Structures are given as C-alpha cells and as structure tokens.
Amino acid sequence: MSEERKLICSKCGAELVKRQVMFSYMRRTFGHEVPVCPKCGKAYISRELAEGKMAEVEVLLEDK
Ligand SMILES: [Zn+2]
C-alpha cells in the first residue's frame, strides 16, 4: 500500500529506520511503526499520521 521512502534525519543525516514507537494521548497509549533516527532517536511522525491517530483516539473516547 504505502511506498517505502528513505527518510533522512535532518539533524544527523542518518537514514531513519522503522521502529515500533509508543504514543500516549489523553492517558491512552498506542503503538505505531514509524521511522526513527538510529543516532538521536528522533521519531519522524508525519502530519497525516499524527492527525489520523488523534482522530482515531478521539473516536475511541467518544465511543465509551
Ligand atoms: Zn538524528
């Protein structure tokens, strides 16, 4: 589905690797695979992903 694109850390210039990262939002925690810099550990989270996940979490909260 999604095309694999090489992402480079703007800080160290290292190639980002896919890692399972835990997010917490509104006291809920969820995991998602995102590109992470192996050097500085900075996770690259696209706006689309962030907004998509937030929307998902908000739906879950409303559904309770
Ligand atoms: Zn980095």
Ligand 1 geometric centre to CA of 62 (Å)? 36
Instruction: Give residue 31 CA to ligand 1 midpoint distance, Å.
Output: 21
pLDDT tens digits along 32-47: 788 899 999 888 877 7
Distance 6 CA to ligand 1 centre (A): 14
* Residue 54 banded pLDDT, cuts 50, 70, 90: low
The structure tokens listed for 4 are: 């694999």
7-21 pLDDT, tens digit per residue, is 899 899 999 999 887
Task: At 36, give phi and psi (nearest 5°).
Answer: -125, 140
Structure tokens at 17: 């690797």
Predicted TM-score (pTM) above 0.75: no
Ligand 1: centre distance to CA 25 (Å): 24
Cα 19 to ligand 1 centroid, rounded to whole Å? 14
CA–CA separation, 5 and 60 (whole Å)? 30
